[in-house]
Structure 1
Amino acid sequence: MKSSQLHVVIVGAGIVGLAHAWAAARAGYRVTVFERSDKARGASVRNFGMCWPIGQPAESFPLALRSRELWDEFTQATGAYARPTGSMHVVAHDDEAAVLEEFVNAAPDAGFQVELMTRSEVEERCPGVRRGVTKAGMFSRTEMNVDPREAMALLPGFLAEKHGVKIHWNTVVTRAGDGKLHTAKGGVHDYDEALVCSGHDFESLFPEIFAASPLKPCKLQMLRTVPQPGGWKLGPMLASGLTLRQYASFLSCPSLAAVKARVARDMPELDAYGIHVMASQDRFGGIVLGDSHEYGGFEIFDKAEIDNLMLRELHKLFDFPDWTIAERWHGIYAKHFGDVEYRVEAAPGVRIAGGTSGSGMTMSFGLAERYFANREAVA
């Protein structure tokens, strides 16, 4: 247990920053968080709310499960919405079905808890799947759905009340180094260690490091339906065969090459915008739909074409009582090509932590806990 006199300051109150605040407080540090806005407004509230271990490669899967355990702890402590319903990959093509079979056959060695399902089994378990189109399905037991807007609203209070974490809202950090953190309000705060967890926005503090990093900003577009009528439930969170192209867990499947080649040949517009489709349900009954991936020089304005393409692919496999779209938005996160996270020492006692590549809701709790558990080894 570290001395409570040691002070960790964290820049950014998104999921990565608050995960590190939780882990640091549990490890015995005094913790202060600085957030430029009045609440989390970035990628942490603009996602599906999926804790999605099934998307992680075998080497990261245990850490994803640990994050899942910590989500359980948090939601039970706060009463936050949580649906531990697992996930279902639903595929409509033979090459996609082959990938699922290969993955399921190899799963026991990697610890994945999955089972292959027939069309009738998928349709029985998943009310939101269109009848008569499924080739096969893969059910995974380990995924949990939270509402990111609610979770990110409750997490700061939980950290303050249970762990004594102090959070400065509406406070822009302008400089960190030499044991002092400076804010735009003129404040100067001493620290023993500073963690910059502000996503791709760390570029404003350390532009040269960002320019030299392997990170690229990624923009995604998403939609949400109105609450479904009569308390209708989605069942497991849903993912189409297009997602096999997105997640590292499937890279070892020999048939994945055929899936990628078919999509590139027959539907190049999906590759152009990095579209793969999924569905989760929020605490009010709305269905969250998406998403897309544009890297680098994207426009700040959303594209109706992307929304229409996502809806086209969603309608092929899924069927909900009410498809009325209530909200459309986009999020931006830092994509790290090649690793589950990005960590670098920006200055003595200042480290950048992030680059979770759209897996922040899945991996942040586990990554932060691991960092402080190994603190002496990385100091």
Structure 2
Amino acid sequence: MENQSILKSSSAAPHFTSSDIIVVGAGIVGLAIAYHAAKQGKSVQVFERNQWAVGASVRNFGLIWPIGQTAGSLLERAKRSQATWRELSTEVGFGLQENGSLHLAYHADEQAVIEEFLNQSDKGYQCQWLSQEEIRKKSPAAKMDGLLGGLFSTTECTVDPREAIRKLPRYLSDTYGVQFHFGSAVQSVEGNTLRVGEKKYRADHIYVCSGADFETLFPEEFQQVPITKCKLQMLRTVPQPKGWQLRATLCGGLTLRHYASFADCPSLPDLDRRFDEEQPLFKEWGIHVMITQNHFGELVIGDSHEYGLTHDPFDREDVDQLILDYLSTFAEVPDLKITQRWHGIYPKLPGATELVLQPTDEVTIVNALGGAGMTLSFGLAEELLTNELE
């Protein structure tokens, strides 16, 4: 990975003290806002408390996942984000796999949910039912025993978030002159001015994109909404041997009950009850299982969901094992040797897809995209910056 510290601003840089836009947070939400603001010709500064972004933006699958978004504005936002990711992968130079997704069905209730979902395919989804034989040609990993078929969607993409989130600041700096202040914790925001240590910086508008650290700036605003945090556990394998390719991202029936896009399917309650009877721990730990592959050949596997404002810093091996055990019911890969295990924590606002607040005329808070930051951030940022111009 390239050394990000060279983008850290010097303390002797008075010409950095004023700009059109200031962004607090260099995760994917903050980077998306910086990108769209800079494209509009605005001068932009970004402040990040760490030497590089180390939060939820680098602790995820790296999936751009339109299939999980409800039809309408969210699906269209996801598609706009996907188009931006595609452009940036070429311009910035990070890998992007346009591999699509496969939701595999081994039970009648899973097939029924997929067929019901396909009946609403005119709402903007790009997907189709595949037979067992068609899936065999689409993915070498899908288990054939008991497979009834599956839902194939063309819109899903995979990046390595570790690579993309580290390379985007350099690109924004070199291409648009965005000034990055890494290792610079913002202590306060008052009006159009923020303070970092003894220095003050001013902007016409400040976007606060602080992710899971929402207790530090404008805590009173966050206390007025039922925001919480979600902890997820994930795993990564060695690069697969001899250039083996997973191709489409694979999911099982658990994923059908995880995403809101499937929520209105009439057969979903039957599927839900069956899983609760077979393994209640899936719901207790919020487990649904997906496997994707980045362009380095590594497989990324997850995940779980625990909700609360404070989380145990110690990961649970039994939760990882539940994930791997369920994975074995629908996928077979050449080498499942795990090289990395981690957890991420992201903000979540129950019943909402994002939190956008304007505590003052000069400040906008953008937070709580849940687990869809990679999928929705560029589209949401484009909407926010366009509305500001209007």
Using the alignment, how far apart are the partners of 1:179 and 1:111 within structure 2? 41
Residue 204 (structure 1) aligns with: 216
Q: Given the alignment of the two structures, is residue 262 of structure 1 paired with residue 274 of structure 2, yes or no?
A: yes
Measured after TM superposition, the shift of residue 73 of structure 1 is 0.8
Which has the larger displacement, 209-218 or 247-256?
Answer: 209-218
Structure 1 residues 326, 38: closer, same or farther in 2, change over 3 A? same
Q: Deviations over 1:216-258 (max 9, x none)?
A: 1000000011111101000111111101111111111111111
Measured after TM superposition, the shift of residue 7 of structure 1 is 1.1
**In the alignment, which of 171, 185, 195 is matched to residue 207 of structure 2?**
195
- What TM-score does the superposition give when structure 2 sets the normalisation length? 0.93
Q: Given the alignment of the two structures, is residue 181 of structure 1 paired with residue 184 of structure 2, yes or no?
A: no
Measured after TM superposition, the shift of residue 212 of structure 1 is 2.1
Using the alignment, how far apart are the partners of 1:97 and 1:186 within structure 2? 61
Equivalent runs, 1:278-289 vs 2, <5 Å: 278-289=290-301
The residue type equivalent to 2:103 in the other structure is H
Asked whether the equivalents of residues 19 and 202 of structure 2 are also in contact (C-alpha less than 8 Å), the reply is no
Residue 113 (structure 2) aligns with: 99
Q: Deviations over 1:51-78 (max 9, x none)?
A: 0000000021111000000001100112
Q: Deviations over 1:247-287 (max 9, x none)?
A: 11111111111111211222110000000000111222110
Asked whether the equivalents of residues 118 and 137 of structure 1 are also in contact (C-alpha less than 8 Å), the reply is yes
Residue 10 (structure 2) aligns with: none
Structure 1 residues 36, 376: closer, same or farther in 2, change over 3 A? same
Q: Extract unaligned runs of 5+ from structure 1.
A: none
Residue 15 (structure 2) aligns with: none
Asked whether the equivalents of residues 177 and 348 of structure 1 are also in contact (C-alpha less than 8 Å), the reply is no
Q: Extract unaligned runs of 5+ from structure 2.
A: 1-17
Aligned length: 371
Residue 45 (structure 1) aligns with: 58
Asked whether the equivalents of residues 97 and 294 of structure 2 are also in contact (C-alpha less than 8 Å), the reply is no
Which has the larger displacement, 166-175 or 75-84?
Answer: 75-84
Using the alignment, how far apart are the partners of 1:58 and 1:135 within structure 2? 26
Residue 83 (structure 1) aligns with: 97
The residue type equivalent to 1:193 in the other structure is H
Residue 120 (structure 1) aligns with: 133
Say which SS state the counterpart of residue 357 (structure 1) adopts.
coil
Q: Given the alignment of the two structures, is residue 218 of structure 1 paired with residue 230 of structure 2, yes or no?
A: yes
**In the alignment, which of 350, 357, 365 is matched to residue 344 of structure 1?**
357
**In the alignment, which of 70, 73, 88 is matched to residue 74 of structure 1?**
88
Q: Deviations over 1:333-372 (max 9, x none)?
A: 0112222211012334111101111100000000000111
Say which SS state the counterpart of residue 135 (structure 2) adopts.
helix
Identity of aligned residues (%): 45
Using the alignment, how far apart are the partners of 1:142 and 1:328 within structure 2? 28
Residue 78 (structure 2) aligns with: 64
Using the alignment, how far apart are the partners of 1:280 and 1:215 within structure 2? 29
Q: Deviations over 1:265-313 (max 9, x none)?
A: 2211000000000011122211000000000043111011100100010
The residue type equivalent to 2:214 in the other structure is F
Using the alignment, how far apart are the partners of 2:119 and 2:215 within structure 1? 43
Q: Deviations over 1:65-123 (max 9, x none)?
A: 00000001100112210111111111211101100001112111x11000001122112
Residue 325 (structure 1) aligns with: 338
Say which SS state the counterpart of residue 316 (structure 1) adopts.
coil
Q: Given the alignment of the two structures, is residue 14 of structure 1 paired with residue 15 of structure 2, yes or no?
A: no
Residue 183 (structure 2) aligns with: 170
The residue type equivalent to 1:262 in the other structure is R
Using the alignment, how far apart are the partners of 2:41 and 2:146 within structure 1? 53
Residue 11 (structure 2) aligns with: none
Which has the larger displacement, 196-205 or 150-159?
Answer: 196-205
Using the alignment, how far apart are the partners of 2:117 and 2:320 within structure 1? 30
Using the alignment, how far apart are the partners of 1:319 and 1:133 within structure 2? 14
Asked whether the equivalents of residues 177 and 350 of structure 1 are also in contact (C-alpha less than 8 Å), the reply is no
Residue 174 (structure 2) aligns with: 161
Using the alignment, how far apart are the partners of 2:213 and 2:254 within structure 1? 30
Equivalent runs, 1:142-153 vs 2, <5 Å: 142-153=155-166
**In the alignment, which of 286, 296, 312 is matched to residue 274 of structure 1?**
286
Using the alignment, how far apart are the partners of 2:128 and 2:100 within structure 1? 12
